[in-house]
Amino acid sequence: MPSFRVDDGVVIHYEQWAGGPAAAPAGPTGPPVLLHHGFVADHTSNWVRTGFVGALVAAGRDVVALDARGHGRSDKPHSPSSYGEHRMAQDLSMLADVLGLEQFDLVGYSMGAVVSLLVATTPDPRLRRLAVGGVGAGVGAGVLRFGGVDRSVLEPGLVAGALLTEDVTTITDPAAARFRAFADVTGADRFALSAHLRAVRDQSVALDRIAVPTLLFVGTADDLATEPGQLVDAIPGARLVEFDGDHLSVLGDPKLTGTVVAFLAE
């Protein structure tokens, strides 16, 4: 995987795919699509295995997906000062710099959705279209208030503790137990993930500053993306689409993939 070093010394890895047969002979059918995955996941689990990359490439789009700091093949410092969605948003914009992009579309899921929303509110003038998923208003405890996932369901401190404990039988919070199990299955660096949770965003995002066409996609059984209607209402001109599935399963729905690909082609 190619990589670049950001200003605090962290090395970020990313992968690239060229648009498929649909792009020939005229070239890509739109600007490159950047993909940002969710917490604990990496570019492979969120975007390759779910079919997102394949569908975008088949539609003639060049695709770039990174591994966020603390995840996948990117560096994994253990200090909270190296983390936070604001820091990841800077990494994402720097990736566009490294690639010399004049324009790009952006898709983010869960943690990556928050990162992508922050890029859009900067705003980055190169951003053309935005699709985000796995987040909602969260009964006043999600993006609208804290700039992240619903804290009434997923309390960062509890998950951070669950990631560090040696005795998983002591984890009583269901959401914390799910993320600890996910981290164990994927072989993630639990200390890096815990450090990120101690630096997660705790203030609202200036959603009214988003000036690009935006699509919000959620699973109807996703307890981390409740009240998506309130969230989409806060983003000027945004659209909401809902699909069967929970936080982990919805990305594998081919109907979702097709909807996002079609939205980015507009």
pLDDT tens digit sequence for 7-18: 999 999 999 999
Q: Which of 41-50, 130-139, 191-200 has the lowest mean pLDDT?
A: 130-139
Cis before 123? omega within 30: yes
pTM of the model as a whole: 0.93
At residue 141, the pLDDT reads 45
In a domain, 183, yes or no: no
Mean pLDDT of the 122-131 span: 96
In a domain, 216, yes or no: yes
In a domain, 174, yes or no: no
Q: Give the Cα separation of 89 and 97 in Å (integer).
A: 13
Q: What is the pLDDT of residues 197-246, one digit of tens each?
A: 988 876 778 899 999 999 999 999 998 888 899 889 999 999 999 999 99
In a domain, 163, yes or no: no
In a domain, 132, yes or no: yes
Q: Give the Cα separation of 141 and 244 in Å (integer).
A: 23
List the domain range (segments joined by +) for residue 105: 3-148+202-265
Q: Which among 116, 120, 47, 123 has a CA at the least distance from the CA of 88?
A: 116
At residue 138, the pLDDT reads 59
Mean pLDDT of the 140-168 span: 75
At residue 151, the pLDDT reads 60
What total number of domains does the chain contain?
1
pLDDT over threshold 70, residue 27: no
At residue 142, the pLDDT reads 57
* Confidence band of 90 (pLDDT split at 50, 70, 90): very high
In a domain, 153, yes or no: no
In a domain, 228, yes or no: yes
Share of the chain above pLDDT 90, in %: 76
pLDDT over threshold 80, residue 77: yes
* Confidence band of 146 (pLDDT split at 50, 70, 90): low
CATH code of residue 28: 3.40.50.1820
In a domain, 130, yes or no: yes
Q: Are 131 and 263 contacting, i.e. CB atoms less than 8 angstroms apart?
A: yes
Sheet strand arrangement including 33-36? 3-5, 11-17, 63-66, 33-36, 104-109, 127-133, 214-219, 239-243
